[in-house]
Amino acid sequence: DLLISQIAAGEVVERPASALKELLENSLDAGATEIRVQLEQGGIKLMRVADNGAGIASAQLQIALARHATSKIASLEDLERVASLGFRGEALASIAAVGRVRLASRAVGADHAHQVLADGGRPGEPQPTALAAGTTIEVRDLYFNTPARRKFLKSEATEYGHSEEAFRRIALARPDVAFSLQHNGRAQHHLRSEDARRRIGALLGDEFAACALEIDESAAGLRLTGMSALPAYSRASRDAQYFFVNGRFVRDKLIAHALRQAYRDVLHHDRHPAYCLFFDLDPALVDVNVHPAKIEVRFRDGRAVHQFLYHALNKALAGRGGENPAA
C-alpha cells in the first residue's frame, strides 16, 4: 500500500543524505572499487550513484526495488554475523516510494544492461539500456509525492552538507575504493584508491593530518587504528569525530567516554577531541543496529571495550603528548 510505504520511507529516507548513505553501502556490498556520485540541488533534484560492482541480473531488477528484498541474508545464522552493510532489504523500496527511480545494471557476465523505472510506486518491466558495467541508480525529485516531507527539508546548502558528510564517512571507512562527488556539476571530491592515512588527509584536511598521531594498538582480538589529533588541531579547526566499528560509522556514548577520558587524563584536554579511528573486533562480540535513521552498537563486553579503547589511546597520546599519564 502506497501510503504505508511512504510512511516507512519517511523513516528510512529522512533526507537526501540518508538515501545517499544507503546507495553507497549497496555499491560497497556489491564489491565496487569505484563509485561516482552526482548530486543536484543538495540531492533533492537528482542523486546519481554509479558503481562498477557485481551488478544485478535483469530478472532481479524489479525485485531489488521491492520491500524486504535482500540478496544478502539467507538465514538467521547469517544475521548473526552479517558482513554486508545492508541486509534489511528496505532501502531501495523506501527510496522508490518517495522518488523517481531509474535502476540500471549490467550483471557480471551479462551481454547487455537493463533498467527499470519506478515513479513513487511499482517498478515497470526491465528494458535494455546502455551501461558498460556495474550499477547506476538515479533518484530524481525526492519527496515529489510527499509534500509535507519535502517542506521539512532545509536549504539546498544544508542538505548538501549532510550528503557530503554521509559521503565523507563512507569514503573514510574505505580508502581502498575510489570515490568522486559532484554537486551541481562541480567536482567536490576526487579520491583515488589509497592508504588510510592519505584518505584521512584528503577528507579531513592536511591540518588534521599534520597534528594527528597514528594509532595502531591491539590486544586480545581487539584492534584500534587510525589517527588522533593533538589539542592544537581542535583549537584551529572543525569538529572531527569519526569512529568506525568494523567499518561502520557509529556514535556511541561508551566509546566517546573512553576517548574523552584518555584525552583528559593524558593531555588535560577535555574539549571535543578530534579523531578518525577504526575499531575492529569479532562481529559476534558486537550487535549493530543498522536501522538507517540511527546507528547503535551494543558490545557483549562493554567494560572490556572501554578499557581497551582508553588504554590504547592513552598509550598513543602519552608517547607524544609530553605530559605524564596517570600511572
Contacting residues toward ligand ADP, per CB under 6 A: 22, 26-27, 29-30, 51, 53-56, 64, 69-72, 86-93, 135
Minimum separation from the CB atom of position 244 to ligand ADP (A): 19
Q: Which is nearer to ligand ADP, 99 or 273 (CB)?
A: 99
Minimal distance, residue 197 CB to ligand ADP, in Å: 28
Residue 12 burial (10 A CB sphere; 0-12, 13-18, 19+): buried
The number of beta carbons lying within 10 Å of the beta carbon of residue 219 is 12
- Residue 93: closest CA among 202, 190, 213, 12: 12
DSSP string for residues in 57-82: -GGGHHHHTSTT--SS--SHHHHHT-
Buried b (16+ CB within 10 A) or exposed e, 101-113: bbbbbbbeeeeeb
Other CB atoms within a 10 A radius of the CB of residue 220 amount to 8
Nearest distance from residue 68's CB to ligand ADP, in Å?
9
Q: How distant, in Å, are the alpha carbons of 239, 249, 298, 307 from that of 20? A: 22, 14, 25, 35
What the block records as the C-alpha cell of 261 is 577520558
The sign of the dihedral angle between the CA atoms of 195, 222, 24, 21 is negative
Q: Which is nearer to ligand ADP, 107 or 262 (CB)?
A: 107
**Residue 164's binding partner out of Mg ion, ligand ADP, none, with CB under 5 to 8 Å set by partner kind:** none
Judged by CB under 5 A, the chain residues 261 through 290 that form the site for Mg ion are none
Q: Which residue is nearest to Mg ion (CB)?
A: 86
Give the residue nearest to ligand ADP (CB): 86
Among Mg ion, ligand ADP, none, what binds residue 27 when CB lies within 5 to 8 Å by partner kind?
Answer: ligand ADP
- Partner from Mg ion, ligand ADP, none binding residue 30, C-beta < 5-8 Å depending on class: ligand ADP
C-alpha of 39 from chain center: 16
Q: How far is the CB of 26 from ligand ADP (least distance, A)?
A: 3
Is residue 26 involved in binding Mg ion (CB under 5 A)?
A: yes
CB of 71 to ligand ADP, least distance (A): 3
Range 86-105, binding Mg ion (CB under 5 A): 86, 91
In the bound state with Mg ion, the residue whose beta carbon lies nearer, of 27 and 228, is 27
Closest CA to 24 of 179, 194, 215: 179
Q: Which does 265 bind (CB under 5 to 8 A by kind): ligand ADP, Mg ion, none?
A: none
Nearer to ligand ADP, 46 or 103 (CB): 103
Smallest separation (angstroms) from Mg ion to the CB of 29 = 6
Q: Using the rule CB under 5 A, give the single segment among 22-30, 120-128, 206-214, 312-320 that binds Mg ion.
A: 22-30
Instruction: Give per-residue burial for 284-293: e unless 16+ CB within 10 Å, then b.
Output: eebeeebebe
Binding residues for Mg ion, rule: CB under 5 A, are 26, 86, 91
